[in-house]
Amino acid sequence: MSVRLPVAGIVILLLASYAGFRLYRMLARRSASYPTAACVEKLRRSRPSAARLVCLGDSITRGSFGASYVSLLEKHLSPAAWAVLNAGINGDLALNALARLEDVIAAQPTAVTILLGTNDILASMSPKDFQSYVLMGKIRHPTGFADYQAHVGEIVRRLQEKTRAHIALMSIPLISEDLDHEVNRRGDAYSEYLRQLADRLNLQYLPVRETQKAYLKTAATKGGQPFEGSDRLGMSAIAGSLVGLSWDKISERSGNQLTIDNIHSNSRSAQLVADLIEGFVRNVSLA
């Protein structure tokens, strides 16, 4: 017994260390292709003729928790023609993306996609949700639709003022497959603002949300988990990932068609987003 107890302790410590390492990698703040000065300089030297696509967003863009549409773009776009930079940060609201926008501007992108708003909506759903974003250090004051409009509008203004990038605004992905829930009614309103902004400023509008809704209408299995179960699904997804389940297997177990936890993408949803962006960049003039 005196020998087994230390061995058991070592095994538990190793397992905990492994889980911590996996969580760190999964939830790391930045991708290796985040547009830091060092990353951009490396691209300038190794791929001087490649156009630069910067994907600005939150964890759905970061792609470390759930399937990554940015990784799909990296595979599908010609590396000689396009360098893809992942400017997604887990948990970011539009306010946080605005605060680090100089990173995007300094990369002097040829094209920028903006996929923001999921966390803005989630932070506005209840005092408890707001406090969770305060604890993450993302916000200090309650936020709402007017704040989102101001922050996204300022992001676009600065990009137009300081870069020559082609800009695409992407509608906000569904938050659960309960389309009648208040969280998705807010998503509809926020996305309509983005569509109107794109029309007014002659920007490209990529209908992520609308494409997801259209897919759900054709899906063989209807239903999905209620929005209120998102926290439980998120913990289950983390546990599933730690034991080696694929994101698609986790999504299948959740009963959702497009997400692993009502928020983050499975491969089907990631492909829908990547397809929209590919269509956008293929029409960008590289002259």
CATH classification of the domain holding 182? 3.40.50.1110
pLDDT score recorded for residue 180 = 94
pLDDT score recorded for residue 256 = 94
User: Which of 169-183, 193-207, 216-230 has the weakest average pLDDT?
Assistant: 216-230
In a domain, 153, yes or no: yes
Q: What is the mean pLDDT of the chain?
A: 90
State the Cα–Cα distance between residues 17 and 227, nearest whole angstrom. 32
Question: Where does the pLDDT of residue 142 fall: very low under 50, low under 70, confident under 90, or very high at 90 and above?
Answer: very high
Contact 201, 156 (CB under 8 A): yes
CA distances from 1 to 4, 5, 6, 9, 12 (A): 5, 6, 9, 12, 16
**Mean pLDDT in residue range 227-239:** 93
In a domain, 32, yes or no: yes
State the Cα–Cα distance between residues 92 and 168, nearest whole angstrom. 18
In a domain, 242, yes or no: no
Would you put residue 223 in left (φ > 0), alpha (ψ -120 to 50) or beta? left
Q: Could you tell me which residues are beta bridge partners of residue 55?
A: 86, 113
State the Cα–Cα distance between residues 204 and 53, nearest whole angstrom. 14
State the Cα–Cα distance between residues 167 and 243, nearest whole angstrom. 39
Contact 14, 38 (CB under 8 A): no
CB burial string 61-86: b at 16+ within 10 A, e below: bbbbbbbbbbbbbbeebeeeebbbbb
Dihedral sign from CA coordinates of 197, 198, 199, 201: positive
User: Which of 20-29, 32-41, 161-170 has the weakest average pLDDT?
Assistant: 20-29
User: The tokens of 195 are what?
Assistant: 């569509």
In a domain, 142, yes or no: yes
**Mean pLDDT in residue range 217-231:** 84
CA distances from 19 to 5, 144, 251 (A): 21, 36, 21
In a domain, 240, yes or no: no
The residue range of the domain holding 270 is: 28-217+266-282
Contact 55, 115 (CB under 8 A): yes
Q: What is the DSSP letter of 228?
A: G
In a domain, 183, yes or no: yes
Token pair 């068609």 is found at: 257
pLDDT, one tens digit per residue, over 96-124 is 999 999 999 999 999 999 999 999 999 99
Question: Where does the pLDDT of residue 21 fall: very low under 50, low under 70, confident under 90, or very high at 90 and above?
Answer: very low
pLDDT score recorded for residue 89 = 97
In a domain, 241, yes or no: no
**Mean pLDDT in residue range 5-31:** 50
In a domain, 4, yes or no: no
Provide the domain count of the chain.
1
**Mean pLDDT in residue range 226-236:** 93
Cβ of 195: how many Cβ atoms within 10 Å?
16
pLDDT, one tens digit per residue, over 80-95 is 999 999 999 999 999 9
CB proximity list for 266: less than 8 A, separation 6 or greater: 66, 67, 247, 248, 250, 251, 256, 258, 259, 260
**Mean pLDDT in residue range 26-49:** 88
Contact 273, 69 (CB under 8 A): yes
